[in-house]
Chain A
């Protein structure tokens, strides 16, 4: 039998970097083949080559045994390759059905033959046992359902090879289960699935074979039954990675951050944080889990003064900080690691040292008279760059030239080096590779050891469970449950993330 996809010596260069370096890959027909690797390992480039978005500089592609050139996304569809992107490409105001058929409508003359379209989609639904309401608008459905729409879109176009780019990144554990069931079903019907991820547990669970990429090259293809998570991590990073962080027991100190009945309203008047109360002691990490958009971001922004609390009280370091300005709150010792580095954390076109003093540029140590003491600022920056191991060519370079991990290190250096008492970290490892994420976790644990109170908001359950002392689940503006990480499983938390007892995957 011919293999579904064979790549031979695929090389793709970008200015200054070889994204794919002589990649060889064989995907059997009807298998789930996972491709794992850190950010920047070349996974996405490889998939974009398969999807016809990029052309390889060298190498050959065989699809079902025939040598092909995938010159455009349209050609990829002709070859029955369907791409399910990480970021959904759906029209919110259209119905599920309309989204599925959009661009590949069956026609009756020049009119749309809705009956025929609906019949075709319904057949797909029953064949693969997908549950979806075709007449719901996309804006009303859950993330897991939206993903199913994306998958149906490519199936409707007749794809036999499905490429899924980080499909689980946005899903709750229950939704992941549902997705995996769907994928197994697709496999059972003879579809070939290429599954890109960097979540090792999931890959080990679902894949028939796993190919590891590292820095543009294939590190190896392995069977999940023969390897452990640690093996995979080592292959990905190129050196042993500590999967378990050593979290020493710390004696909790005084309450440093306390929130009572906090309500934050959107500009429309709808409460987005709706009566949150919590207390965090020094030496404690309080993790907040939850699907994005349930008020976590607004909670963090209310604490540091970016958003107004419409009622409730926030106390930090023993002082009522409700209604204080951001500067006053920061000066009291509240540090903030914002979830969107580029929008809130950094001024991208500015130099590294300018970003390092941002917000602290009026501190005495950085002033000489009324002017900036550039010498002192540069010296401080150089020290921090060294201490945190920021990789850069010069502190004079604009920070936008740095990688995400290095940018985050600059933010950490800026926010954590002033001995803050309370740290609000919102999605601090988003978009970072394994190594950089591990670094961030270690820094947070260091702060915990020093007796700081840390609020960690994260969509990554594994992260919350591995470093937090207590975990609260936020749903619909409220903290609906609270656990100690050692007494729960991700599935338990997942139930609350979806709003309590709602059936898995159908949460809305």
Chain B
């Protein structure tokens, strides 16, 4: 029985080991650009963790990644690769923005949830196309979601620049042209920041921090996804389909049904990815609306090995790296690409270490079973 705890410990240890290994490897890269790895890492930690505003920014950075990590992980769990989170969150964010600027006069308690719902709906709509194509026509979801990402880029571009462009923008007399952006969202659609709440505990966040209620909402969502996966019949079906589709089908589970529901759920979560930025920082959608959260979500999910609660931590880790990158860039003149390299190394080492670790754990379990069997066998025959 003791061994079981050992195995659990090894599982938790795997990502930690991967982080250490990737740090070691990136040290080599840091040395190559003539800096001291120790100093770089020290600066990163100090800058990110010793200041209240940095910690808050780190969590703000992590917020969209929690949602996109969860969205990707649900796909992975049922054996599908949702690369389309990227497009799904842009469509979701746009639909949320639309509900935010076109509806006026609603109280915030109704308007904000409505806007969030629209975000989820947008993501869901965009994820329906690839899963419909997959289940009905056998189109591989990787291909269709990648292509839909490009379509979403152009579609958003068109909607913002041509259809919904804010014509009420004031120009300085005869100078320049108006910005390509949507009208501003009603204040009732905006997500309150966490400043007031944290103030109750004596934590005063500065104004340049945009940490908002989407962060706790993300944690809550992760917990809900965890519950769904581990404690509900549907979650069980989803995992069963993901790990052995044929066996699931043989015992009466319809993989296609699981795929559709699971993918729509993944899309709905993806639709929430951009909302933290939209509803607290931007307040409108423009051409500079952040991209790549969908792809980062893949890395976040991989590092967490698709564990919903692990995703919270790996998202925060990415938030930390992003904030730390700002630190080493301004304080030490290290290019922020350095951090991209670190992230890439981390993903590679997690994949390798997770594989090694799992093999090792399997061997342990085999051994354990042998011991159980042989101890039973060696009792004298009745």
Additional A-B contacts beyond A347-B243, A391-B373 (10; CB < 8 A): A16-B371, A306-B250, A343-B244, A347-B240, A347-B247, A350-B239, A357-B236, A391-B369, A391-B376, A393-B369
B-side interface mostly? helix
A-side interface mostly? loop
Bound CA span A47–B381, Å: 29
Per-position binary interface string of chain A over residues 393-421, scored 1 when its CB falls under 8 Å from any chain B CB and 0 otherwise: 11011101111000000000000000000
Segment at the B interface, from A187-195, A199-207, A370-378: A370-378
Residues of chain B lying within 8 A (CB to CB) of residue A362: 233
Segment at the A interface, from B11-19, B179-187, B251-259, B263-271: B251-259
Chain B residues within CB distance 8 Å of chain A: 1, 4, 227, 231-233, 236-237, 239-240, 243-244, 246-254, 362-363, 365-373, 376-377, 381
Partner of B366, one of A16, A354, A358: A16
B8 to chain A, nearest CB (A): 10
Bound CA span A354–B235, Å: 12
Bound CA span A114–B187, Å: 87
A402 to chain B, nearest CB (A): 7
| Count: A-B pairs, CB below 8 Å | 107
B20 to chain A, nearest CB (A): 26
Using CB atoms, name the residue of chain B closest to A358: B251
A475 at the interface (CB under 8 A from B): no
Q: Do B231 and A358 touch across chains, with their CB atoms under 8 A apart?
A: no
The answer to whether residues A392 and B372 also contact, given A326-B252, A358-B240 and a CB cut-off of 8 A, is: yes
Q: Do A402 and B362 touch across chains, with their CB atoms under 8 A apart?
A: no
Q: Do A371 and B250 touch across chains, with their CB atoms under 8 A apart?
A: no
Q: Do B251 and A392 touch across chains, with their CB atoms under 8 A apart?
A: no
The answer to whether residues A372 and B232 also contact, given A325-B254, A327-B252 and a CB cut-off of 8 A, is: yes
B256 to chain A, nearest CB (A): 11
B229 to chain A, nearest CB (A): 11
Bound CA span A402–B362, Å: 11
Residues of chain B lying within 8 A (CB to CB) of residue A293: none
The answer to whether residues A393 and B372 also contact, given A347-B244, A361-B237 and a CB cut-off of 8 A, is: yes
A350 to chain B, nearest CB (A): 6
Q: Do A354 and B236 touch across chains, with their CB atoms under 8 A apart?
A: yes
Residues of chain B lying within 8 A (CB to CB) of residue A15: 363, 366-367
Residues of chain A lying within 8 A (CB to CB) of residue B4: 394, 396
A56 at the interface (CB under 8 A from B): no
Q: Do A344 and B246 touch across chains, with their CB atoms under 8 A apart?
A: yes
Bound CA span A348–B366, Å: 13
Bound CA span A350–B369, Å: 16
How many chain A residues have a CB neighbour from B under 8 Å?
47
The answer to whether residues A336 and B250 also contact, given A343-B244, A358-B240 and a CB cut-off of 8 A, is: yes
Using CB atoms, name the residue of chain B closest to A354: B236
Bound CA span A325–B252, Å: 8
Partner of B372, one of A344, A346, A391: A391
B105 to chain A, nearest CB (A): 38
A330 at the interface (CB under 8 A from B): yes
Bound CA span A403–B236, Å: 24
Q: Do B367 and A370 touch across chains, with their CB atoms under 8 A apart?
A: no
Bound CA span A248–B247, Å: 34
Bound CA span A17–B227, Å: 39
The 9 A-B pairs of least Cβ separation, nearest first, read A359-B251, A16-B367, A327-B252, A401-B365, A347-B244, A344-B250, A16-B370, A326-B252, A393-B372
| Residues of chain A in range 324-362 having any CB-CB distance to chain B below 8 Å | 325-327, 329-331, 336, 338, 343-350, 354, 357-362
Residues of chain A lying within 8 A (CB to CB) of residue B362: 398, 400-401
A33 at the interface (CB under 8 A from B): no
B61 to chain A, nearest CB (A): 33
- Between A and B, 26 residue pairs with Cβ closer than 8 Å are A15-B367, A16-B363, A16-B370, A306-B249, A325-B254, A336-B250, A338-B250, A343-B247, A344-B246, A344-B250, A346-B247, A347-B243, A347-B244, A354-B240, A357-B236, A358-B248, A358-B251, A360-B251, A361-B233, A372-B231, A391-B369, A392-B372, A397-B368, A397-B369, A401-B366, A403-B369
Q: Do A343 and B243 touch across chains, with their CB atoms under 8 A apart?
A: no
Bound CA span A338–B244, Å: 14
B234 to chain A, nearest CB (A): 9
Residues of chain A lying within 8 A (CB to CB) of residue B366: 15-16, 401
Bound CA span A347–B253, Å: 13
Residues of chain A lying within 8 A (CB to CB) of residue B1: 394
Partner of B370, one of A17, A348, A349: A17
A367 at the interface (CB under 8 A from B): yes
Using CB atoms, name the residue of chain B closest to A239: B381
Using CB atoms, name the residue of chain A closest to B371: A16
| Residues of chain A in range 217-235 having any CB-CB distance to chain B below 8 Å | none
A390 to chain B, nearest CB (A): 11
Bound CA span A329–B252, Å: 9
A490 at the interface (CB under 8 A from B): no
B381 to chain A, nearest CB (A): 5
